[in-house]
């Protein structure tokens, strides 16, 4: 899709941001007959294109049925109630679950491929290319499994390695293009235009034209720092600064008029001032996403009269597995006390550590489990996971002959760690089970030295970061996606979707739930914005 705009042309719907939410909004608005313009500060894709391409879906998708897994709206709803809490209403959550199978079919109609079938027998944060359906959250862990029948709902887009997110967005981009959506890349919206009645009527932006001499180098540096910036941000900090300067040197002012604007510009994890203000406990989390996740879209909504919620909610990903044997150890804080059952989803476990243990923790293993970890690497891991394991299995761990010795090497309270290990091992041997109620299949007694430790703290090493993203945003009308006005009612003509808005995953994140919410909320906003602008499919003019 080439960058192009028609200065004299009026649009019906203008979308700010071109990730999953922006793409979904633009596609639906165009299909409703709207003339749609999308602006993105990058080249399109946002955090979605850099992601693992997981879409959380259930209630009986085709892929679940192919694998022989039963799921229903009620089972999905019972599980998600525990994760979602008060982020959205019961009515909205039920609608999300009811529409879940159709959402997958909508994506497939856009060319996105999924694959059902067998689910891996081991727990993982991201499956190998042998599996494209998996338990991507807490479905099988305590206490969630007590309240809902587990089902695999992590639908990974069919693509090799870590290219699933890239493949997902490529199909959305193509579908938007085929729907007639105009796209301006390298455009940063800095102001919303209002008409004489106070209704949102367009945007002002600065853009770097694709013909500018700086674009070639800018594009190259953007590609080089994308995924690397998510996992090793310290390595690319200087390059990111150079990319910003290239854009600023050539950016020129622009303006576009429209009858409705949809904000879909991502979260604010790269806005360090906001992070310090709203989520100071998460300052050591490695920003996950693109440089565009700086809160600009949320800021535009606030300036227009909107209000925010859940701004202190940040998901912090401390994944232990794969290999799955990493879950067989014990995670403890500086006092030696157990953090949580290790088979919890990595972001859930990470949230407990960040909020209740000051972001400080260690994973402790005995000799048999450490050997098992090494033995599982070949069958259970992707290449990007092996690169991290190279660090953990060399310089990234400590070793001691005794539990007390491993405690002293890490500065962990020796008596506290001994009590934790004894309570766990005695529970396993006696048959009473793990006091934290971890899956019994992941609970070997911790008896035989030497013992090993991994520092799982936030900021422990640039080679073992805790990636994270923000979950709060603008409050919206859950039936339409319109931005709620802080004085009551809505901001006329303004919508928000994805991580610009409070949504399904704004309290708790599990793999695939953010992208699913982006599609759900983006489609909702696109349809309503087009209809509110007076568009009808039958009257569409292109």
Which tokens go with 33? 């007959």
Report if residue 3 sits inside a domain: no
H-run or E-run covering 109 = helix 100-109
Q: If you search the block for the tokens 């996740």, which residue do you land on?
A: 293
Domain count, the chain: 3
Partnered with residue 56 across adjacent β-strands are 154
Are residues 436 and 526 located together in one domain of the fold?
no
* Burial track 258-267 (b if 16+ CB lie within 10 A, e otherwise): bbbbbbbbbb
pLDDT above 70 for 238:
no
CATH of residue 443's domain is 3.90.700.10
Report if residue 498 sits inside a domain: yes
Structural domain including 135 reads 54-156
The string of pLDDT tens digits covering residues 419-450 is: 999 999 999 999 999 999 999 999 999 999 99
The last residue of a domain, from among 97, 124, 156: 156
The string of pLDDT tens digits covering residues 100-143 is: 999 999 999 999 999 999 999 999 999 999 999 999 999 999 99
Task: Give pLDDT, residue 107.
Answer: 98
Q: If you search the block for the tokens 């200087």, which residue do you land on?
A: 238
**Backbone phi, then psi, for 184, in 5-degree steps?**
-120, 110
In the chain, what percentage of residues exceed pLDDT 70? 95
CATH of residue 213's domain is 3.50.50.60
Confidence band, pLDDT 50/70/90 cuts, at residue 7: very low
Are residues 402 and 517 located together in one domain of the fold?
no
> How do 200-207 and 330-332 pair as beta strands?
unpaired
Are residues 152 and 23 located together in one domain of the fold?
no
Report if residue 263 sits inside a domain: yes
Report if residue 347 sits inside a domain: yes
Q: If you search the block for the tokens 């009620």, which residue do you land on?
A: 74
Q: 242-247 — which CB contacts under 8 Å span 24+ positions?
A: 243/218, 243/291, 244/291, 246/208, 246/214, 246/217, 246/218, 246/221, 247/186, 247/208, 247/214, 247/218
Confidence band, pLDDT 50/70/90 cuts, at residue 244: confident
Min mean pLDDT across 5-9, 141-145, 150-154, 322-326 is at 5-9
Report if residue 542 sits inside a domain: no
Are residues 493 and 430 located together in one domain of the fold?
no
Are residues 275 and 326 located together in one domain of the fold?
no
- The C-alpha angle 352, 447, 141, rounded to 5 degrees, equals 35
Report if residue 462 sits inside a domain: no
Are residues 516 and 418 located together in one domain of the fold?
no
Report if residue 264 sits inside a domain: yes
The last residue of a domain, from among 455, 481, 516: 455
- CA distances (Å), 277 to each of 233, 268, 280, 283, 300, in order? 21, 12, 6, 10, 18
pLDDT above 70 for 1:
no
The pLDDT of 375-397, averaged and rounded, is 93
Contacts of residue 25, Cβ cutoff 8 Å, sequence gap at least 6: 13, 15, 262, 264, 495, 497, 522, 523, 525, 526, 529
Q: What is the CA radius of gyration of the chain?
A: 24
Dihedral sign, Cα of residue 160, residue 162, residue 168, residue 171? negative
Nearest CA among 460, 451, 434, 441 for reference residue 370: 451
Query: Residue 241, class by beta-carbon neighbours within 10 Å (0-12 exposed, 13-18 middle, 19+ buried)?
Result: exposed
Residue pair 515/542 in contact by the 8 Å Cβ criterion: no
Are residues 472 and 494 located together in one domain of the fold?
yes
Are residues 449 and 354 located together in one domain of the fold?
yes
Partnered with residue 364 across adjacent β-strands are 330, 453
Are residues 58 and 147 located together in one domain of the fold?
yes
Plot region of 137 (φ>0 → left; ψ -120 to 50 → alpha; else → beta): beta
SS3 385: helix
Torsion of CA 233, 234, 237, 240, to 10 degrees: -20
The pLDDT of 357-385, averaged and rounded, is 96
The last residue of a domain, from among 409, 430, 455: 455
Which tokens go with 271? 């806005």
Are residues 26 and 62 located together in one domain of the fold?
no
Helices (H), ranges, 330-402: 346-356, 367-380, 383-392
Are residues 92 and 224 located together in one domain of the fold?
no
Are residues 300 and 323 located together in one domain of the fold?
no
Q: 367-374 — which CB contacts under 8 Å span 24+ positions?
A: 367/448, 367/449, 367/450, 367/451, 367/452, 368/444, 368/448, 369/325, 369/328, 369/329, 369/444, 369/446, 370/452, 372/323, 372/325, 372/328, 373/323, 373/325, 373/326
The string of pLDDT tens digits covering residues 172-224 is: 999 999 999 999 999 999 999 999 999 999 999 999 999 999 989 988 888 87
pTM as predicted: 0.94
Report if residue 172 sits inside a domain: yes
Report the mean per-residue pLDDT for the chain.
94
The pLDDT of 343-372, averaged and rounded, is 97
């Amino acid at each position: 899709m080439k960058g192009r705009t028609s200065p004299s042309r009026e649009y019906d719907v203008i979308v700010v941001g071109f990730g999953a939410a922006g793409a979904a909004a633009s596609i639906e608005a165009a299909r409703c007959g709207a003339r749609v313009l999308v602006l993105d500060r990058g080249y399109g894709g946002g955090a979605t294109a850099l992601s693992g391409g997981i879409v959380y879906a259930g209630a009986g998708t085709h892929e679940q049925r192919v694998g022989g897994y039963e799921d229903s709206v009620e089972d999905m709803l019972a599980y998600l109630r525990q994760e979602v809490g008060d982020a959205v209403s019961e009515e909205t959550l039920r609608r999300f679950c009811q529409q879940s199978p159709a959402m997958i079919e909508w994506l497939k109609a856009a060319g996105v491929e999924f694959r059902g079938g067998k689910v891996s027998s081991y727990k993982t944060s991201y499956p190998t290319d042998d599996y494209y359906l998996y338990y991507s959250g807490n479905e099988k862990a305590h206490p969630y499994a007590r309240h809902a029948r587990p089902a695999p709902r992590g639908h990974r887009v069919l693509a090799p390695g870590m290219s699933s997110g890239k493949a997902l967005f490529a199909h959305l981009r193509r579908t938007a293009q085929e729907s007639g959506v105009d796209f301006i890349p390298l455009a940063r919206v800095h102001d919303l235009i209002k008409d004489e009645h106070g209704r949102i009527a367009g945007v002002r932006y600065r853009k770097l034209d694709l013909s500018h001499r700086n674009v070639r180098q800018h594009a190259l540096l953007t590609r080089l720092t994308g995924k690397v910036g998510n996992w090793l941000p310290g390595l690319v900090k200087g390059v990111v600064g150079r990319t910003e300067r290239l854009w600023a040197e050539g950016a020129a002012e622009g303006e576009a008029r429209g009858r409705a604007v949809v904000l879909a510009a991502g979260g604010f994890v790269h806005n360090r001032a906001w992070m310090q203000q709203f989520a100071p406990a998460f300052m050591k989390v490695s920003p996950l996403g693109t440089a565009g996740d700086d809160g600009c879209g949320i800021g535009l909504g606030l300036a227009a009269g909107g209000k925010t919620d859940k701004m202190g909610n940040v998901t912090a990903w401390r994944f232990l597995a794969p290999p799955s044997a990493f879950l067989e150890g014990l995670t403890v804080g500086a006092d030696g006390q157990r953090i949580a059952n290790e088979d919890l989803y990595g972001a859930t476990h990470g949230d407990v550590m960040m909020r209740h243990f000051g972001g400080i923790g260690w994973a402790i293993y005995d000799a048999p489990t450490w050997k098992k970890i090494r033995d599982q690497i070949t069958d259970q891991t992707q290449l990007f996971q092996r690169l991290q394991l190279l660090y953990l299995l060399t310089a990234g761990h400590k070793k001691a002959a005794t539990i007390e010795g491993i405690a002293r090497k890490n500065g962990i309270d020796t008596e506290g760690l001994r009590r934790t290990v004894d309570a766990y091992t005695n529970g396993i041997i006696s048959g009473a089970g793990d006091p934290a109620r971890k899956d019994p299949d992941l609970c070997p007694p911790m008896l035989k030295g030497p013992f090993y430790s991994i520092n799982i703290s936030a900021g422990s090493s640039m080679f073992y970061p805790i990636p994270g993203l923000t979950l709060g945003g603008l409050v919206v009308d859950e039936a339409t996606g319109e931005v709620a006005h802080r004085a009551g009612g809505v901001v006329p003509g303004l919508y928000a979707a994805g991580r610009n808005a409070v949504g399904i995953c704004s309290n708790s994140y599990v793999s695939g739930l953010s992208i699913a919410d982006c599609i759900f909320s983006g489609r909702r906003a696109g349809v309503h914005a087009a209809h509110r602008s007076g568009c009808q499919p039958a009257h569409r003019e292109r």
